[in-house]
Protein backbone atom coordinates (compact mmCIF):
# COMPACT_ATOMS: atom_id res chain seq x y z
CA UNK A 1 0.00 0.00 0.00
CA UNK A 2 1.24 3.50 -0.82
CA UNK A 3 2.28 5.69 2.08
CA UNK A 4 -0.30 8.31 3.10
CA UNK A 5 0.79 11.79 2.01
CA UNK A 6 -1.96 13.90 3.53
CA UNK A 7 -4.97 13.51 5.83
CA UNK A 8 -7.81 16.02 5.73
CA UNK A 9 -10.17 16.10 8.73
CA UNK A 10 -13.70 17.54 8.80
CA UNK A 11 -17.35 16.71 8.17
CA UNK A 12 -16.97 14.46 5.15
CA UNK A 13 -19.83 14.93 2.67
CA UNK A 14 -20.41 11.88 0.48
CA UNK A 15 -23.23 11.28 -1.96
CA UNK A 16 -25.16 9.17 0.56
CA UNK A 17 -24.06 10.35 4.01
CA UNK A 18 -22.19 12.95 6.04
CA UNK A 19 -19.45 11.58 8.31
CA UNK A 20 -18.96 13.80 11.35
CA UNK A 21 -15.44 13.81 12.79
CA UNK A 22 -14.30 12.19 9.57
CA UNK A 23 -11.15 12.07 7.48
CA UNK A 24 -9.96 11.66 3.91
CA UNK A 25 -6.51 10.14 3.45
CA UNK A 26 -4.55 10.82 0.26
CA UNK A 27 -1.74 8.83 -1.34
CA UNK A 28 -0.08 9.71 -4.66
CA UNK A 29 -2.91 12.05 -5.61
CA UNK A 30 -5.65 9.48 -5.02
CA UNK A 31 -8.15 8.87 -2.23
CA UNK A 32 -6.65 6.07 -0.13
CA UNK A 33 -9.05 5.92 2.82
CA UNK A 34 -12.24 7.60 4.05
CA UNK A 35 -13.50 7.09 7.56
CA UNK A 36 -14.28 8.43 11.02
CA UNK A 37 -11.91 9.35 13.80
CA UNK A 38 -8.22 10.20 13.75
CA UNK A 39 -7.33 8.24 10.65
CA UNK A 40 -3.83 7.14 9.65
CA UNK A 41 -0.64 9.07 10.22
CA UNK A 42 0.64 11.25 7.41
CA UNK A 43 3.33 13.76 6.58
CA UNK A 44 0.66 16.47 6.37
CA UNK A 45 -2.43 16.51 8.59
CA UNK A 46 -4.95 19.31 8.06
CA UNK A 47 -7.70 19.89 10.58
CA UNK A 48 -10.95 21.33 9.21
CA UNK A 49 -13.13 19.72 11.90
CA UNK A 50 -15.80 22.43 11.80
CA UNK A 51 -15.86 22.56 7.99
CA UNK A 52 -17.56 20.59 5.24
CA UNK A 53 -15.15 18.44 3.24
CA UNK A 54 -16.73 17.80 -0.14
CA UNK A 55 -15.66 16.39 -3.50
CA UNK A 56 -14.22 19.04 -5.79
CA UNK A 57 -16.89 20.29 -8.16
CA UNK A 58 -17.03 19.46 -11.86
CA UNK A 59 -18.58 22.44 -13.62
CA UNK A 60 -20.23 20.94 -16.69
CA UNK A 61 -20.71 24.20 -18.58
CA UNK A 62 -17.99 26.83 -18.92
CA UNK A 63 -17.26 29.28 -21.76
CA UNK A 64 -13.62 30.29 -21.29
CA UNK A 65 -13.19 31.72 -24.80
CA UNK A 66 -16.48 33.38 -25.71
CA UNK A 67 -14.81 36.81 -25.94
CA UNK A 68 -11.43 36.90 -27.63
CA UNK A 69 -8.73 38.51 -25.52
CA UNK A 70 -10.88 38.46 -22.38
CA UNK A 71 -10.82 35.44 -20.05
CA UNK A 72 -9.32 32.23 -21.47
CA UNK A 73 -8.30 29.31 -19.23
CA UNK A 74 -5.84 31.49 -17.30
CA UNK A 75 -8.73 33.21 -15.53
CA UNK A 76 -11.58 30.70 -15.76
CA UNK A 77 -9.52 28.04 -13.96
CA UNK A 78 -8.29 30.59 -11.41
CA UNK A 79 -11.90 31.41 -10.54
CA UNK A 80 -12.62 27.69 -10.46
CA UNK A 81 -9.87 26.92 -7.95
CA UNK A 82 -11.10 29.73 -5.69
CA UNK A 83 -14.61 28.29 -5.90
CA UNK A 84 -13.86 24.67 -5.04
CA UNK A 85 -14.18 23.62 -8.68
CA UNK A 86 -11.47 21.15 -9.64
CA UNK A 87 -12.57 20.32 -13.20
CA UNK A 88 -14.24 22.55 -15.78
CA UNK A 89 -15.95 21.26 -18.91
CA UNK A 90 -15.45 23.88 -21.59
CA UNK A 91 -17.89 24.59 -24.41
CA UNK A 92 -16.92 24.42 -28.11
CA UNK A 93 -18.07 27.90 -29.18
CA UNK A 94 -14.78 29.77 -29.02
CA UNK A 95 -14.70 33.30 -30.40
CA UNK A 96 -13.15 32.86 -33.83
CA UNK A 97 -13.13 29.05 -33.97
CA UNK A 98 -15.89 26.46 -33.76
CA UNK A 99 -14.44 23.32 -32.17
CA UNK A 100 -15.84 20.94 -34.77
CA UNK A 101 -12.83 18.87 -35.93
CA UNK A 102 -10.37 16.61 -34.17
CA UNK A 103 -7.51 18.90 -35.10
CA UNK A 104 -9.20 21.95 -33.58
CA UNK A 105 -10.07 20.11 -30.37
CA UNK A 106 -6.50 18.80 -30.02
CA UNK A 107 -5.08 22.27 -30.58
CA UNK A 108 -7.44 23.72 -27.96
CA UNK A 109 -6.45 21.00 -25.48
CA UNK A 110 -2.75 21.72 -26.00
CA UNK A 111 -3.03 25.46 -25.46
CA UNK A 112 -5.49 25.09 -22.57
CA UNK A 113 -3.09 22.70 -20.82
CA UNK A 114 -0.48 25.45 -20.77
CA UNK A 115 -2.90 27.81 -19.02
CA UNK A 116 -5.15 25.70 -16.79
CA UNK A 117 -4.78 25.75 -13.00
CA UNK A 118 -7.36 22.97 -12.50
CA UNK A 119 -8.27 20.02 -14.69
CA UNK A 120 -10.45 20.47 -17.76
CA UNK A 121 -12.51 18.46 -20.22
CA UNK A 122 -13.79 19.61 -23.60
CA UNK A 123 -17.10 19.56 -25.41
CA UNK A 124 -17.06 19.23 -29.20
CA UNK A 125 -19.64 20.19 -31.81
CA UNK A 126 -20.28 19.67 -35.51
CA UNK A 127 -20.53 22.28 -38.23
CA UNK A 128 -24.08 22.68 -39.59
CA UNK A 129 -22.86 21.43 -42.99
CA UNK A 130 -21.32 18.25 -41.56
CA UNK A 131 -22.59 14.77 -42.37
CA UNK A 132 -21.37 13.52 -38.98
CA UNK A 133 -18.12 12.01 -40.18
CA UNK A 134 -16.07 14.09 -37.72
CA UNK A 135 -17.63 12.38 -34.69
CA UNK A 136 -15.03 9.64 -34.48
CA UNK A 137 -12.03 11.94 -34.83
CA UNK A 138 -13.45 14.21 -32.12
CA UNK A 139 -13.94 11.23 -29.81
CA UNK A 140 -10.37 10.09 -30.49
CA UNK A 141 -9.14 13.62 -29.72
CA UNK A 142 -10.76 13.37 -26.28
CA UNK A 143 -14.17 15.04 -26.52
CA UNK A 144 -16.31 14.25 -23.47
CA UNK A 145 -19.66 15.23 -25.06
CA UNK A 146 -21.18 17.07 -28.03
CA UNK A 147 -23.06 20.37 -27.92
CA UNK A 148 -25.69 21.79 -30.29
CA UNK A 149 -28.28 24.53 -30.27
CA UNK A 150 -31.85 24.68 -31.50
CA UNK A 151 -31.51 28.48 -31.59
CA UNK A 152 -29.09 30.32 -33.85
CA UNK A 153 -27.10 32.94 -31.95
CA UNK A 154 -24.56 33.26 -34.79
CA UNK A 155 -24.42 31.30 -38.07
CA UNK A 156 -20.80 30.21 -37.58
CA UNK A 157 -19.81 30.68 -33.92
CA UNK A 158 -23.07 29.47 -32.33
CA UNK A 159 -25.27 28.08 -35.10
CA UNK A 160 -28.74 26.62 -35.04
CA UNK A 161 -28.92 22.93 -35.94
CA UNK A 162 -32.34 22.12 -37.45
CA UNK A 163 -34.16 18.92 -36.40
CA UNK A 164 -33.33 16.86 -39.48
CA UNK A 165 -29.63 17.62 -38.94
CA UNK A 166 -29.88 16.90 -35.23
CA UNK A 167 -31.32 13.51 -36.12
CA UNK A 168 -28.32 12.84 -38.37
CA UNK A 169 -25.85 14.00 -35.74
CA UNK A 170 -27.49 12.09 -32.87
CA UNK A 171 -27.43 8.93 -34.99
CA UNK A 172 -23.68 9.36 -35.50
CA UNK A 173 -23.01 10.08 -31.81
CA UNK A 174 -25.16 7.30 -30.34
CA UNK A 175 -22.65 4.45 -30.88
CA UNK A 176 -19.98 6.34 -28.92
CA UNK A 177 -22.06 6.41 -25.72
CA UNK A 178 -21.30 10.10 -25.25
CA UNK A 179 -24.08 12.60 -24.69
CA UNK A 180 -25.46 15.17 -27.10
CA UNK A 181 -26.08 18.34 -25.11
CA UNK A 182 -28.52 20.87 -26.49
CA UNK A 183 -29.24 24.56 -25.93
CA UNK A 184 -33.03 24.38 -25.64
CA UNK A 185 -34.84 27.31 -27.29
CA UNK A 186 -37.10 27.03 -30.33
CA UNK A 187 -35.71 29.35 -33.00
CA UNK A 188 -38.97 30.30 -34.67
CA UNK A 189 -40.81 31.11 -31.45
CA UNK A 190 -37.94 33.21 -30.08
CA UNK A 191 -37.54 35.20 -33.29
CA UNK A 192 -41.26 35.92 -33.44
CA UNK A 193 -41.26 36.94 -29.77
CA UNK A 194 -38.24 39.22 -30.24
CA UNK A 195 -40.01 40.95 -33.12
CA UNK A 196 -43.14 41.42 -31.01
CA UNK A 197 -41.16 42.88 -28.10
CA UNK A 198 -39.30 45.27 -30.36
CA UNK A 199 -42.55 46.39 -31.96
CA UNK A 200 -44.05 47.03 -28.50
CA UNK A 201 -41.34 49.53 -27.64
CA UNK A 202 -40.38 47.78 -24.37
CA UNK A 203 -36.59 48.01 -23.97
CA UNK A 204 -35.97 47.58 -20.22
CA UNK A 205 -35.35 44.38 -18.25
CA UNK A 206 -38.81 43.02 -19.10
CA UNK A 207 -37.91 42.71 -22.76
CA UNK A 208 -35.66 39.70 -22.34
CA UNK A 209 -38.09 37.34 -20.59
CA UNK A 210 -40.87 38.36 -22.96
CA UNK A 211 -38.64 37.66 -25.97
CA UNK A 212 -38.04 34.07 -24.86
CA UNK A 213 -41.34 32.72 -23.49
CA UNK A 214 -41.55 29.46 -21.59
CA UNK A 215 -42.96 27.55 -24.58
CA UNK A 216 -39.75 28.24 -26.51
CA UNK A 217 -37.87 26.10 -23.98
CA UNK A 218 -40.29 23.24 -23.50
CA UNK A 219 -41.05 22.86 -27.21
CA UNK A 220 -37.34 22.61 -27.99
CA UNK A 221 -36.87 20.09 -25.17
CA UNK A 222 -39.66 17.83 -26.41
CA UNK A 223 -38.11 17.92 -29.88
CA UNK A 224 -34.61 16.95 -28.79
CA UNK A 225 -35.77 14.28 -26.34
CA UNK A 226 -37.87 12.73 -29.13
CA UNK A 227 -34.84 12.72 -31.45
CA UNK A 228 -32.76 11.16 -28.69
CA UNK A 229 -35.37 8.48 -28.10
CA UNK A 230 -35.56 7.70 -31.81
CA UNK A 231 -31.78 7.43 -32.23
CA UNK A 232 -30.87 5.90 -28.82
CA UNK A 233 -28.52 8.84 -28.31
CA UNK A 234 -28.03 10.06 -24.73
CA UNK A 235 -29.68 13.50 -24.79
CA UNK A 236 -28.85 16.23 -22.33
CA UNK A 237 -30.56 19.61 -21.94
CA UNK A 238 -27.72 21.89 -20.86
CA UNK A 239 -29.86 24.42 -18.96
CA UNK A 240 -33.49 24.57 -17.98
CA UNK A 241 -35.16 27.48 -16.20
CA UNK A 242 -38.63 25.93 -15.90
CA UNK A 243 -40.16 23.34 -13.61
CA UNK A 244 -42.09 21.97 -16.59
CA UNK A 245 -38.80 21.09 -18.27
CA UNK A 246 -37.77 18.80 -15.41
CA UNK A 247 -41.16 17.12 -15.59
CA UNK A 248 -40.55 16.48 -19.29
CA UNK A 249 -37.15 14.97 -18.64
CA UNK A 250 -38.50 12.70 -15.89
CA UNK A 251 -41.31 11.55 -18.20
CA UNK A 252 -38.87 10.63 -20.98
CA UNK A 253 -36.66 8.78 -18.50
CA UNK A 254 -39.68 6.70 -17.47
CA UNK A 255 -40.20 5.85 -21.14
CA UNK A 256 -36.67 4.48 -21.38
CA UNK A 257 -34.98 7.51 -22.93
CA UNK A 258 -31.37 8.28 -22.06
CA UNK A 259 -32.42 11.77 -21.00
CA UNK A 260 -30.72 14.13 -18.55
CA UNK A 261 -31.07 17.78 -17.53
CA UNK A 262 -28.98 20.58 -16.06
CA UNK A 263 -29.91 23.40 -13.69
CA UNK A 264 -27.56 26.38 -13.81
CA UNK A 265 -26.94 28.00 -10.44
CA UNK A 266 -28.44 31.31 -11.57
CA UNK A 267 -31.83 29.67 -12.09
CA UNK A 268 -31.70 28.46 -8.47
CA UNK A 269 -30.73 31.86 -7.04
CA UNK A 270 -31.90 34.82 -9.15
CA UNK A 271 -35.40 35.86 -10.19
CA UNK A 272 -36.82 38.22 -12.79
CA UNK A 273 -38.92 40.53 -10.66
CA UNK A 274 -36.13 41.35 -8.21
CA UNK A 275 -32.72 40.57 -9.67
CA UNK A 276 -33.19 41.15 -13.39
CA UNK A 277 -35.13 44.32 -12.61
CA UNK A 278 -32.17 45.50 -10.51
CA UNK A 279 -29.28 44.29 -12.69
CA UNK A 280 -30.59 44.81 -16.21
CA UNK A 281 -28.09 43.58 -18.82
CA UNK A 282 -25.84 42.10 -16.14
CA UNK A 283 -28.54 39.46 -15.58
CA UNK A 284 -29.25 38.73 -19.26
CA UNK A 285 -28.92 34.99 -19.81
CA UNK A 286 -30.35 32.54 -22.34
CA UNK A 287 -32.78 31.03 -21.43
CA UNK A 288 -33.87 33.94 -19.25
CA UNK A 289 -33.99 34.10 -15.48
CA UNK A 290 -37.64 33.44 -14.61
CA UNK A 291 -40.01 34.68 -11.87
CA UNK A 292 -39.47 33.59 -8.25
CA UNK A 293 -42.20 30.96 -8.52
CA UNK A 294 -40.07 29.09 -11.08
CA UNK A 295 -37.00 29.35 -8.85
CA UNK A 296 -38.84 27.57 -6.05
CA UNK A 297 -40.23 25.05 -8.50
CA UNK A 298 -36.68 24.14 -9.49
CA UNK A 299 -35.72 23.63 -5.85
CA UNK A 300 -38.63 21.22 -5.61
CA UNK A 301 -37.10 19.24 -8.44
CA UNK A 302 -33.70 19.29 -6.72
CA UNK A 303 -35.37 17.76 -3.65
CA UNK A 304 -37.21 15.20 -5.80
CA UNK A 305 -34.05 14.07 -7.59
CA UNK A 306 -35.16 15.32 -11.00
CA UNK A 307 -32.05 17.45 -11.60
CA UNK A 308 -29.10 15.59 -13.09
CA UNK A 309 -26.35 18.17 -12.58
CA UNK A 310 -25.86 21.80 -11.55
CA UNK A 311 -23.46 24.07 -13.43
CA UNK A 312 -22.62 27.75 -13.95
CA UNK A 313 -22.80 28.35 -17.73
CA UNK A 314 -19.92 30.66 -16.79
CA UNK A 315 -18.85 33.44 -19.15
CA UNK A 316 -17.06 36.65 -18.15
CA UNK A 317 -18.16 39.34 -20.57
CA UNK A 318 -16.47 42.72 -20.28
CA UNK A 319 -18.67 45.46 -18.79
CA UNK A 320 -19.28 47.13 -22.15
CA UNK A 321 -20.96 43.93 -23.38
CA UNK A 322 -23.45 43.93 -20.46
CA UNK A 323 -24.31 47.57 -19.74
CA UNK A 324 -26.48 48.68 -22.68
CA UNK A 325 -29.74 50.26 -21.39
CA UNK A 326 -31.54 48.48 -24.23
CA UNK A 327 -31.83 45.03 -22.66
CA UNK A 328 -31.78 42.96 -25.85
CA UNK A 329 -28.53 44.56 -27.03
CA UNK A 330 -26.49 42.96 -24.24
CA UNK A 331 -24.50 39.75 -24.47
CA UNK A 332 -26.03 36.75 -22.71
CA UNK A 333 -24.36 34.97 -19.83
CA UNK A 334 -22.76 35.61 -16.44
CA UNK A 335 -19.70 34.49 -14.47
CA UNK A 336 -20.21 32.08 -11.58
CA UNK A 337 -17.27 29.73 -11.02
CA UNK A 338 -16.14 31.30 -7.76
CA UNK A 339 -19.67 31.50 -6.33
CA UNK A 340 -21.44 28.28 -7.40
CA UNK A 341 -20.46 25.97 -4.53
CA UNK A 342 -21.23 28.48 -1.73
CA UNK A 343 -24.52 29.41 -3.41
CA UNK A 344 -25.68 25.81 -3.71
CA UNK A 345 -24.72 25.02 -0.10
CA UNK A 346 -26.60 28.17 0.99
CA UNK A 347 -29.72 27.14 -0.95
CA UNK A 348 -29.67 23.60 0.41
CA UNK A 349 -29.29 24.79 3.98
CA UNK A 350 -32.08 27.36 3.67
CA UNK A 351 -34.46 24.62 2.50
CA UNK A 352 -33.29 22.00 5.02
CA UNK A 353 -32.03 19.76 2.22
CA UNK A 354 -29.04 17.51 2.91
CA UNK A 355 -25.58 18.60 1.78
CA UNK A 356 -25.28 15.23 0.04
CA UNK A 357 -27.18 16.86 -2.83
CA UNK A 358 -24.12 19.02 -3.48
CA UNK A 359 -21.86 15.96 -3.71
CA UNK A 360 -24.28 14.41 -6.20
CA UNK A 361 -25.11 17.42 -8.37
CA UNK A 362 -21.69 19.07 -8.50
CA UNK A 363 -19.45 16.01 -8.48
CA UNK A 364 -20.80 12.47 -8.71
CA UNK A 365 -23.31 12.97 -11.50
CA UNK A 366 -21.14 15.26 -13.67
CA UNK A 367 -18.30 12.73 -13.44
CA UNK A 368 -20.57 9.92 -14.57
CA UNK A 369 -22.31 12.04 -17.20
CA UNK A 370 -19.02 12.97 -18.90
CA UNK A 371 -17.41 9.56 -18.24
CA UNK A 372 -14.70 11.04 -16.04
CA UNK A 373 -14.77 8.02 -13.78
CA UNK A 374 -11.67 8.90 -11.73
CA UNK A 375 -13.32 12.16 -10.71
CA UNK A 376 -16.34 13.26 -8.74
CA UNK A 377 -16.28 11.37 -5.46
CA UNK A 378 -14.44 11.00 -2.17
CA UNK A 379 -14.12 7.30 -2.90
CA UNK A 380 -11.03 5.13 -2.65
CA UNK A 381 -9.19 5.15 -5.98
CA UNK A 382 -10.62 8.44 -7.21
CA UNK A 383 -8.54 11.55 -7.76
CA UNK A 384 -8.16 13.44 -4.48
CA UNK A 385 -10.12 16.47 -5.66
CA UNK A 386 -11.49 18.14 -2.53
CA UNK A 387 -13.35 21.33 -1.63
CA UNK A 388 -13.44 22.54 1.97
CA UNK A 389 -16.29 24.87 2.97
CA UNK A 390 -16.13 26.94 6.16
CA UNK A 391 -19.04 28.69 7.83
CA UNK A 392 -18.00 32.32 7.53
CA UNK A 393 -20.90 34.68 6.75
CA UNK A 394 -19.98 37.45 4.32
CA UNK A 395 -21.37 39.47 1.45
CA UNK A 396 -20.01 38.27 -1.84
CA UNK A 397 -18.06 40.72 -4.00
CA UNK A 398 -16.49 39.37 -7.18
CA UNK A 399 -13.88 42.13 -7.28
CA UNK A 400 -12.69 41.51 -3.72
CA UNK A 401 -10.81 38.25 -4.20
CA UNK A 402 -8.79 39.16 -7.28
CA UNK A 403 -9.52 35.77 -8.79
CA UNK A 404 -11.96 36.91 -11.49
CA UNK A 405 -11.12 38.58 -14.77
CA UNK A 406 -14.15 40.88 -14.37
CA UNK A 407 -15.07 43.06 -11.42
CA UNK A 408 -18.78 42.30 -11.52
CA UNK A 409 -21.12 39.43 -10.72
CA UNK A 410 -24.90 39.06 -10.59
CA UNK A 411 -24.31 37.60 -7.12
CA UNK A 412 -22.58 40.71 -5.76
CA UNK A 413 -24.10 41.68 -2.42
CA UNK A 414 -25.64 38.29 -1.67
CA UNK A 415 -25.09 37.12 1.91
CA UNK A 416 -23.09 33.89 1.79
CA UNK A 417 -23.09 31.78 4.99
CA UNK A 418 -20.22 29.61 3.69
CA UNK A 419 -16.95 30.31 1.90
CA UNK A 420 -14.36 28.06 0.27
CA UNK A 421 -11.58 27.50 2.79
CA UNK A 422 -9.39 25.26 0.62
CA UNK A 423 -9.32 23.42 -2.70
CA UNK A 424 -7.23 20.35 -3.47
CA UNK A 425 -6.49 19.02 -6.95
CA UNK A 426 -5.22 15.46 -7.02
CA UNK A 427 -4.14 15.86 -3.40
CA UNK A 428 -2.29 19.15 -3.83
CA UNK A 429 -3.64 22.36 -2.34
CA UNK A 430 -4.45 24.78 -5.16
CA UNK A 431 -6.35 27.35 -3.08
CA UNK A 432 -5.74 28.19 0.59
CA UNK A 433 -8.82 30.29 1.30
CA UNK A 434 -7.21 33.49 0.11
CA UNK A 435 -4.72 32.82 -2.66
CA UNK A 436 -4.83 30.54 -5.69
CA UNK A 437 -1.60 28.55 -5.35
CA UNK A 438 -1.76 26.65 -8.63
CA UNK A 439 0.26 28.03 -11.51
CA UNK A 440 -0.86 27.86 -15.15
CA UNK A 441 -0.09 24.39 -16.46
CA UNK A 442 -1.09 22.62 -13.24
CA UNK A 443 -4.37 21.41 -14.74
CA UNK A 444 -4.60 18.37 -17.00
CA UNK A 445 -6.76 17.53 -19.99
CA UNK A 446 -9.24 14.96 -18.65
CA UNK A 447 -10.88 12.62 -21.15
CA UNK A 448 -13.62 9.97 -20.95
CA UNK A 449 -12.67 6.51 -19.79
CA UNK A 450 -12.40 3.81 -22.43
CA UNK A 451 -14.78 0.89 -22.41
CA UNK A 452 -17.86 2.96 -21.72
CA UNK A 453 -20.42 1.39 -19.41
CA UNK A 454 -24.11 1.46 -20.31
CA UNK A 455 -25.16 5.04 -19.70
CA UNK A 456 -28.17 4.50 -17.44
CA UNK A 457 -26.22 2.19 -15.15
CA UNK A 458 -23.31 4.64 -15.01
CA UNK A 459 -25.34 7.74 -14.23
CA UNK A 460 -27.77 6.29 -11.76
CA UNK A 461 -30.35 8.33 -9.93
CA UNK A 462 -29.92 12.05 -9.58
CA UNK A 463 -30.39 11.89 -5.86
Least confident of 176-180, 233-237, 301-305, 448-452: 448-452
Q: How confident is the model at residue 450 (pLDDT cuts 50, 70, 90)?
A: low
Q: What is the mean pLDDT of residues 82-87?
A: 98
Q: Are 404 and 338 in contact (CB under 8 A)?
A: yes
> Buried (b) or exposed (e) across 244-275, using 16+ Cβ within 10 A?
ebbebbbebbeeebbbbbbbbbbbbbbbbeeb
Q: What is the mean pLDDT of residues 355-363?
A: 98
Alpha helices (H) along 232-284:
243-254, 265-269, 277-279
Query: Which of 157 and 187 is assigned the larger pLDDT?
Result: 187
CB atoms within 10 A of CB 212: 25
The answer, yes or no, to whether the previous bond of 113 is cis (omega within 30 of 0) is no
Q: What is the mean pLDDT of residues 421-446?
A: 98
Q: How confident is the model at residue 456 (pLDDT cuts 50, 70, 90)?
A: very low
For the chain, count helices (H), then strands (E): 16, 17
Reply yes or no on whether the pLDDT at 458 is more than 80: no
pTM: 0.96
Q: Can you say whether residue 232 is alpha, beta or left, with left for phi > 0 and alpha for psi between -120 and 50 degrees?
A: left
Q: Are 240 and 219 in contact (CB under 8 A)?
A: no
Reply yes or no on whether the pLDDT at 111 is more than 60: yes
**In the chain, where are the structural domains located?**
54-381+445-459
Q: Check residue 159 and give its pLDDT.
A: 84
Reply yes or no on whether the pLDDT at 372 is more than 80: yes
Q: What is the mean pLDDT of residues 334-362?
A: 98
Reply yes or no on whether the pLDDT at 428 is more than 80: yes
Q: How confident is the model at residue 155 (pLDDT cuts 50, 70, 90)?
A: confident
Using CA atoms, how far apart are residues 268 and 287, in angstroms rounded to an integer?
A: 13
Using CA atoms, how far apart are residues 436 and 428, in angstroms rounded to an integer?
A: 12
CATH architecture of the domain formed by 54-381+445-459: Alpha-Beta Barrel (3.20)
**Quick one: what percent of the chain has pLDDT higher than 70?**
97
Q: What is the mean pLDDT of residues 46-62?
A: 97
H-helix or E-strand spanning residue 146: strand 145-149
What would the pLDDT profile of 404-424 be if each residue is shown by its tens digit? Answer: 999 999 999 999 999 999 999
Q: Check residue 153 and give its pLDDT.
A: 77
Q: What is the mean pLDDT of residues 130-157?
A: 92
Q: How confident is the model at residue 451 (pLDDT cuts 50, 70, 90)?
A: very low
Q: What is the mean pLDDT of residues 140-159?
A: 89
Q: Check residue 453 and give its pLDDT.
A: 43
Reply yes or no on whether the pLDDT at 452 is more than 70: no
Least confident of 135-139, 159-163, 281-285, 370-374: 159-163
Q: Check residue 454 and give its pLDDT.
A: 40
Q: Check residue 460 and give its pLDDT.
A: 41
Reply yes or no on whether the pLDDT at 202 is more than 80: yes
Beta bridge partner(s), residue 445? 120
CA distances from 434 to 88, 96, 115, 119, 422 (A): 21, 34, 20, 20, 9
Sheet with 386-395, side-by-side order of all strands: 30-36, 18-27, 6-13, 44-55, 386-395, 415-425, 428-431
Amino acid sequence: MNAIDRVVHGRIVLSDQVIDDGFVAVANGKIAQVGQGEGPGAAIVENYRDCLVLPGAIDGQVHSRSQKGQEDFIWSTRSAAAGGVTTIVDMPYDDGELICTGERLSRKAQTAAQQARVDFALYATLHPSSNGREVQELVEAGACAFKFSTFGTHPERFPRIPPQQLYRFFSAIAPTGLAAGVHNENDEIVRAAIAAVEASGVTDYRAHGASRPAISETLAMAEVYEIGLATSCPTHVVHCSLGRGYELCAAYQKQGAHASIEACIHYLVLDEENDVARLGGFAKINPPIRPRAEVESLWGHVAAGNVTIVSTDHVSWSRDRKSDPIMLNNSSGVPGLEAMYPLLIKGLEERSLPFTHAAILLARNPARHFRLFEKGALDVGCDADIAVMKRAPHRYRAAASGHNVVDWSPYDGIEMPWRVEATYLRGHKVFDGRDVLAEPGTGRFTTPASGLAPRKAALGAAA
